[in-house]
Structure 1
Amino acid sequence: MNSIFSIDQLEEVAKQILAQNPKKVILFHGEMGVGKTTLIKQLCKSLGVTGATSSPTFSLVNEYEADDNQLVYHFDFYRLNDEVEALDMGIDDYLYSGNWCFIEWAEKIPNLIPQTHSVITITLLDDGKRSLQLS
């Protein structure tokens, strides 16, 4: 899936992503400030998460519950020093739980990512819109 969108189209983009039936582990790539967290918040909302969502920059992971009692995990590994820290927090239990795992800065844990995953790459365009590629 490839899409060019503005921020006011985020709800529709999230629905399009979920309609593609991506793998439950999704890596989000893009420069800082491009909108990875904002998109993840909208994906959570589209999955039925009703509580507040926020970036887990300091906690590394936030857990949310969706309408159908499924869990959604949002990881932000920007501040992670090495893969051992991720292992110490029990990353394997999360990644192989069968629940949604949205991961920002996954390049910090390249050897821990399950073989089966999806990737969303977001790029900021000159006109302020975003280009999104789901693979």
Structure 2
Amino acid sequence: MELKIDSLKDIDRVAGEFVNSIGNNHVMAFYGKMGAGKTTFIKALCRQLHVVDQVNSPTFAIVNDYETDNSSHIFHFDFYRIKNLEEAYDFGYEDYFYSGNLCFIEWPELVEPILPENTLAVTVQVNEDGSRSVIF
């Protein structure tokens, strides 16, 4: 499926469509070049999911834990700065990926071998006209 974000004013609507389309998928791997808008889209997803915490990139923390207004948790990962797969083992990735909570993973390339089998691959790409496409 492909959703198009023509401008930032469309991002919340598209995020709502995405949330309504993901079914039972809990772990989502977000692919895209630097600056494509992965974090911005995840922030919009968190708004749609009623996150009450401040949402920002977990670049240095590796994982952020956000709480929603119904006390469920969403885990947001950024694996850009990890050097090897062992770092994911060290922080106990299984506790997150298999928790049943939503997991949004940026820069999943290095951890692909440990992603759950049913991980939803999501690509955020910049189009020639400056719009973004979310493909999953």
Considering the TM-score relative to the shorter chain, is it more than 0.5? yes
Question: Alpha-carbon deviations, 1:60-114, whole Å to 9, x = none?
Answer: 0000001221100000000011110001001111000000100001111111100
1:124 alignment counterpart: 126
How far is the alpha carbon of 1:21 from its aligned partner? 2.9
- Structure 2's unaligned 5+ residue stretches are none
Tell me, yes or no, if the aligned pair for 1:7 and 1:129 is still in contact at 8 Å.
no
1:97-108 equivalences under 5 Å are 97-108=99-110
Give ranges in structure 1 of 5+ residues lacking alignment: none
User: Which residue number in structure 2 is paired with residue 3 of structure 1?
Assistant: 3
User: Residue 15 of structure 1 aligns to which amino acid in structure 2?
Assistant: G
Determine what percentage of the aligned residue pairs are the same residue.
Answer: 42
Q: Distance in 1 between matches of 2:121 and 2:13?
A: 18
Structure 2: distance between partners of 1:126 and 1:45 = 27
Which of residues 51, 54, 63 is equivalent to 1:52? Answer: 54
Which residue in the other structure is 1:82 paired with?
84
Describe the SS at the equivalent of 1:38: helix
Q: Secondary structure at the match of 1:49?
A: coil
Inter-partner Cα distance in structure 2 for 1:16 and 1:4: 10
Secondary structure of 1:110's counterpart equals helix
- Residue 70 of structure 1 corresponds to 72
Please report the TM-score for the alignment, with normalisation by the length of structure 2.
0.95
Give the whole-Å Cα distance in 2 for the aligned partners of 1:130 and 1:74. Answer: 21
Count of residues in correspondence between the two structures: 134
SS in 2 for 1:48: coil
SS of structure 1 residue aligned to 2:129: coil
Distance 2:91 2:4 in 1: 36
Q: Following TM superposition, where does structure 1 have runs of at least 4 consecutive aligned residues deviating by more than 6 angstroms?
A: none
Q: Any idea what SS the aligned residue of 1:33 has?
A: coil
State the TM-score, normalized to the length of structure 1.
0.95
**Offset at residue 51 of structure 1 (A):** 2.0
Distance 1:59 1:21 in 2: 26
Instruction: State the alpha-carbon separation in 2 of the partners of residues 44 and 4 from structure 1.
Output: 18
